[in-house]
Every structure is written in C-alpha cells, then in structure tokens.
Amino acid sequence: MRRRRLGAATLVVLLAATVTAATAVPLFLGGRAGLLVSVHVVAAAVFFAALGVKLALLGARARPGRARRLWPPLVAQMGSLLAGYTLLTGVLVVLDPAWSNQHLAASFWLGVVVVVHARQYARRLRALLRRSPPSGDLELRAALRRLDAPTIALLDLSVRKGMSDSDLATISGADIAEMRHRREHALERLNSGGGAIERRLRRLAPEAWSLPARRRAARRLVVVGGGMAGHAIVEQMLARGGWRIVLLAEEDVEPYNRIGLSQVLRDRRSSERLALHRARWYADADVDLRLGIPATAVEVDRRRVIDGTGTEHRYDALILATGSRAFIPPIPGVELGHVVGYRTLRDAQRIAATAGHVRTAAVIGGGLLGLEAAATLSDRGLAVTVVQAGGRLMAQQLDDGAASLLRRSLARRGLETVVATTVSEITASHLRLADGSTVTAQLVIVAAGIRAETALARAAGLDVDRGIIVDDHMRTSAAEVWAVGECAQHRGVVHGLWAPVAEQVRAAVASLDGDSMPFTPSAPQTTLKVAGLELFAAGRTTLEDDEEEVVRSDGRSGRYAKLVVDGDRLVGAILLGDTTMAGRLGQLIAAGGPVPVDVLDASVVTRCVERPRGELPGPDEVVCHCMAVSREPIERAIDRDGLQSVDGVAAATGAGTGCGSCAATVARILDERRRFARPPAQPSVEADSENRSDWASA
C-alpha cells in the first residue's frame, strides 16, 4: 500500500511539474490570459504539495540507517526547485509589472508550503532516528518471526546468554552434535544479510527474543507404513506440533522394534516387549492409527490416499515409509508349510512356535538376519545349517579373512555353514543343493535379503528404481510427498540399517517443517553377537585404489582385526572376537580426521583387541550401534531419571533395544554411575526443627 501511495505522489508531482512548465512558457512570452495564470499558479501549488507528500512518504519508508543521509539532499532539491520557480516569477514581474502582486503572492504561499513540508519531513526522519534500532535489527526481527519458539529460545540461550553447546545439550536432553547442527542452521537462516550475525543478534532488545511461536492451522499428515521409520516420523512430528496425523499400518499390531525379532525366537513372550507404544498412546496423542489397513492407492494430483477399506485420506503432506519385504527365491517347494520367510513379528512368532516341535532347521541366507536367526535356534538346541549362495558369510560387511574366521568359529559352536552354493529344491524334510548334496531340515527359514516396497509409489507415478528415488531432503518426484526408510533410494543407495534410517527421518521432518537438514549418511556400522561371538564392522572394509590395510588375525582364539586406511584417515574397520575398541574406531571413521599413529601399529591393534573388558568407552563413543546411542546421553538419562536397570536405560534412550550386544556395557555404565553417585543431602537439625515448628504452627 505504501508503495502505491508513493507511486501516486510521484505521478502527481510529474503531472504538476509538466503543467507548471507548460503554462510558464506562454507567460514568459507575454501571454496575458487570466485563466492561464490561474492554471499556472494552481499547478505550481499542486507540484510543491505533492512533492512534500512524496518526501514525507520517502521518510516513512527509508531505512533508519540511511535516513540521515537521505533527507538533506532531498530538502536541498526541494529548495532549489522553489528557487527556480521564484526566479521565473521574478522574470515575469520584470516583464509585466501589472501581474506582480499575484505572482509575488503565489511565490510567497508556495514558499510557505515548501518550508512546512520540509520541516515536517525533517522532523519525521529525526523521530525515526531517535526511536529506531540499527538497520539490521528490523530485518532480524522479521526473520525471527519466521522461526518457531524452541529455535528462538535456543538462539537466545546460545547467543545472548553465551551458553555452550554442551550446556544446551544438557538442558534439552539432546545430543551435542544435533544441538550444534540446530544452532548453526538457525544462524544460517538468519544470516541473509551477511556476516557478524551473532553480534547483530546480541544488540537486539530483550523483547525481540520473546516472539510468539508461529500460529497456523493444523495440517493433515498421512504416514503410510507402521514400521520403525513411520513411528519415528509420528513421534517427531508430534513434538513439533501443528499436524493432524493419520498412520496407516499394514500389520495388525502396534509398531514394534524390528531389530529385536531374534528375542521372539528365543522367547515367544518377549514379543510383548517389542511394541514401541501401545494403541492407547496414539489415541492420547490424537493420532489416527489404522492397524491392519494398508494404503492401496495414492492420487498425488488430488492429494489423497485411499486405504484398504476404501476410505479417503486427504493430506497436506504424505510420507511413504512402506519399508521392504522379504525376498523369497523361486525355489521349487518354497510354498510348503514348513518354509517361513523371516521379516515380520508374525514370521518370528511362527518360527518360534514351530521350533519347539522340530530338531533340525536350515536358514537360506548368510547375512545379518539369517545368522541371528540361526544362532538363536542353535541356542534352543536345534541342529542348524546356514546355506549362503555367495562365497562368504556377511558379504556386505566382511572380507574373506574375517568371513573365513567367522565360519570356523561358528563351526566350533555347532553351527554348520555351507557357502558358494544354492538351493535347488525344498522337500518336506530336506534341502537339495545345487552341488548335489542335501541338508536335513524340518524347518526352513528364508532370510535371503529384502526388496524395497515400491508398488504403491510406482502406481502413483513416482520416480522409482530399486527404491523410491528421493533427494537430500527425502522428497520424492511428487510435490508434498516424502519417503524414508528401506523403501527410499538416496543417491543410488537403499539403506537397511537403522542408524541411517533414523537420520533420514530427521531430515524429512525438518524439510516438512520448512527447515533445511539434508540427509548425509554416515559410514555404516554393524554390531552382531552370533553364538557368543562378537563382531563389529564399520565403513568400507574392502580396499580401493591407493588404500592400505592393517590386519592382525589369530585363528586359535578366533580374533581378527583389520583397519582400512586412506592416507591418514581411517575409512573402515573389522573386529571379530572382541569388539572392545569398536566405539573408538567407529568414532574415528565417523569423524573423518587423521587416525592416531598408535592405532595403525599392528601390534597395538592386537593390544587394542585384548584391552580389558572392564574399561568403559569414552563419552562420545557409540555404545549401541543399532540405535546410534553414545555413552554421554546414557549417563545423562541415568542421572536425570534415576535409572537403575538396563531395561530402564533402554526405555529412556533406546540403547540395548537392538541386537542386545551392548547390554553388558550399559550395565557397567549403570554400575559406575551408582558407585560415584552422591548421596542425597540430609536436612540439618536446625532446618528439621524449623520445619517441625512450622508444621506445629500451621
């Protein structure tokens, strides 16, 4: 509106100036028409009046920092125009004294108009200078209004009150790295005008930090997929607020921790402990949870999802977390009743129920999931054989040396493995292999890998390859549609471990709420405990050009250590038999900095592997690799909530809810915190007597 007013004033000034000049020419040439003189005088008056209005509007619009430099030349320009008009009037008076009184009167009143408007303009600018903050403050205040209340509070504490990232993390209960990323991202969003952003923020008045949170109507979010990724999306979006959430789950049970399925094979009753939240929690959070009702169609042009009952769910944002399905090879006999895929809670319960009535079992697939299932069934007393089509076990994580040592170690524990062959047929009691041999199996578990669930996205017209193609912010090719988890393909990679999936969830939630937190996957880290044998693999475990390796192997004790080094950086590591150094090596790989010289010494690698188990990891070292939880947040949760058990730590931080190999380390951390915990302060005798007297008087 102010721009329009300023433009109108400019137009009036130009028109009045044109009329004034046009009428001044015939008057100068000796025109005597009374109407001509009147028009000339009126146009001149309008010209100076409009010019005064324009200058006043300019003063209102001018940035306070520039106002001191703007108003003197503008007022000087106005005075020069008045002087020019007075000179013209004087010339006319000399040429024709008969009109002198009228021209002098017109000049006088026009001069009054100019002086009045110039004074008002100067007064307006001085007032702006007195009560306005520096120029950047108005921009910063406007930018702050676009942030939410938690972000404003974070900046207030970190910038104005000078609190460190560690202090902020302690207050908020968040990880230090996440707190640092949130603070730097908020500063980047405010730093549109250039450097010295923190100094400009410190100069803001205290009331600038008490801006209200953004108010907006609740938007509709539909999450397709009731797995761990879908549940994590719901939790984080509830924390941000402002969304009405519908969660469509294909399985008829509440979202559960899929990493702990091996616990169900061990004890069927443990399935009750895998639930991430009960249905009542979703109801209390006002989440529309639809169990056993998958999405059947997505219409991206109309922004709606149709579920299995035919119900339409309109959305402002849609997140596909459809996960993956177990790959079932086309083997003759795979449809028999004793053949079970291993992917869902129902699969695990079925395997656990069948395992109590058979004595032999075979697992098709020598990856993480297959070895976990085989080891658990072996612990239950079954004779188990693992059949792996590839040339080595855990081909994605291990090299030939570690895989060979793992295979021999499993054999010593009674778990037989067959590699480099495939299953040609499944019968009621045997597996026939491609090399002509047979394996006795009354129960067959198929853990031959997974395939991203992309049917829904493909039918909706999204870009799909091996997974749903997403960018760094987990956005798909359709507007307002995101994808996370094992169904998403980012830069050609489909991630199957929970740590990168959790990072995907954080990136999608930030993008959904207008922030920028791109997904930058860290080096994969895997921790496994098979038949009592500990295994750790992180980063790239096979050599590439110009890389070197440090290897130490002890076949008698079943210990193996390998470091892959690129220049002065540690890019990969394998530990087998003892994973005591897993936390330190994982931290070095994730940091990407120079690796200490002592770690590269082969003899030191052996000493690292043989380091006493009682030694705890450092504060920043990862304790639970499944859930990416380091030691510091575990200790913080113990001190804050007074936790006394491993289960309590698992509920508060997620540590130990995966494969369970970190439970012993968590227990040692608990013991240390209890040992060094300060006893509660006892009230003094005086204070106690005062309390008693106060109670008596009351």
Residue 12: left if φ>0, alpha if ψ -120 to 50, beta else—which one?
Answer: alpha
Confidence grade of residue 73 (pLDDT, cut at 50, 70, 90): low
Class of the CATH-defined domain 219-326+452-512? alpha beta
Strands 533-539 and 548-554 turn out to be: unpaired
What are residue 679's phi and psi, to 5 degrees?
-65, 150
Asked whether the predicted pLDDT for residue 692 surpasses 60, the reply is: no
What pLDDT is recorded for position 126? 56
* Strand arrangement, sheet containing 533-539: 525-530, 533-539, 569-576, 559-566, 548-554
* Strand arrangement, sheet containing 339-341: 339-341, 443-446, 360-364, 383-388, 416-419
Asked whether the predicted pLDDT for residue 374 surpasses 50, the reply is: yes
- Of the candidates 47, 54, 40, the residue with the CA atom closest to the CA atom of residue 7: 54
What pLDDT is recorded for position 139? 65
- Outline where 610-662 has alpha helix (H): 631-641, 646-653
Confidence grade of residue 108 (pLDDT, cut at 50, 70, 90): low
Q: What is the mean pLDDT of residues 465-481?
A: 95
Confidence grade of residue 519 (pLDDT, cut at 50, 70, 90): very high
CB-based burial label for 120 (10 Å; 0-12, 13-18, 19+) = middle
CATH number for the segment(s) 339-448: 3.50.50.60
What pLDDT is recorded for position 328? 93
**SS3 at position 72:** helix
Q: What rounded mean pLDDT belongs to the chain? A: 78
Confidence grade of residue 454 (pLDDT, cut at 50, 70, 90): very high
What pLDDT is recorded for position 622? 72
Which of the two residues, 353 and 216, has the higher pLDDT score? 353
Least confident piece of the model among 8-17, 339-348, 359-368? 8-17
What pLDDT is recorded for position 440? 95
Alpha-carbon distance 314 to 246, whole Å? 10
* Strand arrangement, sheet containing 438-440: 423-426, 430-433, 438-440
Which of the two residues, 663 and 59, has the higher pLDDT score? 663
What pLDDT is recorded for position 687? 39
Stated as kind and residue range, the H or E segment containing 107 is helix 100-131
* The amino acid at 175: D
Q: What is the mean pLDDT of residues 391-408?
A: 88
CATH number for the segment(s) 135-209: 1.10.10
Confidence grade of residue 580 (pLDDT, cut at 50, 70, 90): confident
Share of the chain above pLDDT 90, in %: 32
Asked whether the predicted pLDDT for residue 215 surpasses 70, the reply is: no
Q: What is the mean pLDDT of residues 619-648?
A: 78
Which of the two residues, 644 and 192, has the higher pLDDT score? 644
Asked whether the predicted pLDDT for residue 29 surpasses 60, the reply is: no
Which of the two residues, 556 and 119, has the higher pLDDT score? 556
- For 690, residues 6+ apart whose C-beta sits below 8 A from its C-beta are none
Confidence grade of residue 613 (pLDDT, cut at 50, 70, 90): very low
Least confident piece of the model among 125-134, 284-293, 526-535, 601-610? 601-610
Which of the two residues, 586 and 104, has the higher pLDDT score? 586
What pLDDT is recorded for position 167? 73
Share of the chain above pLDDT 70, in %: 68
Which of the two residues, 474 and 50, has the higher pLDDT score? 474
What pLDDT is recorded for position 607? 44
* The amino acid at 299: E
Q: CATH fold of 522-610, please?
A: Enolase-like; domain 1 (3.30.390)
Asked whether the predicted pLDDT for residue 345 surpasses 90, the reply is: yes
Which of the two residues, 572 and 192, has the higher pLDDT score? 572
Q: What is the mean pLDDT of residues 39-52?
A: 68
What pLDDT is recorded for position 437? 94
Q: CATH: 1.10.260.40, 3.90.550.10, 1.10.10.1100, 3.40.640.10. Which one for 612-680?
A: 1.10.10.1100
Dump pLDDT digits (tens) for 482-504: 999 999 999 999 998 888 898 89
What pLDDT is recorded for position 482? 97
What pLDDT is recorded for position 430? 93
Least confident piece of the model among 141-150, 222-231, 340-349? 141-150
What pLDDT is recorded for position 600? 63
DSSP secondary structure letters along 227-295:
SHHHHHHHHHHHHH--EEEEEEESSSS--B-GGGHHHHHH-GGGGGG-BSS-HHHHHHTT-EEEET--E
Q: What is the mean pLDDT of residues 317-342?
A: 95
* The amino acid at 260: G
What pLDDT is recorded for position 501? 92
Q: What is the mean pLDDT of residues 267-272?
A: 69
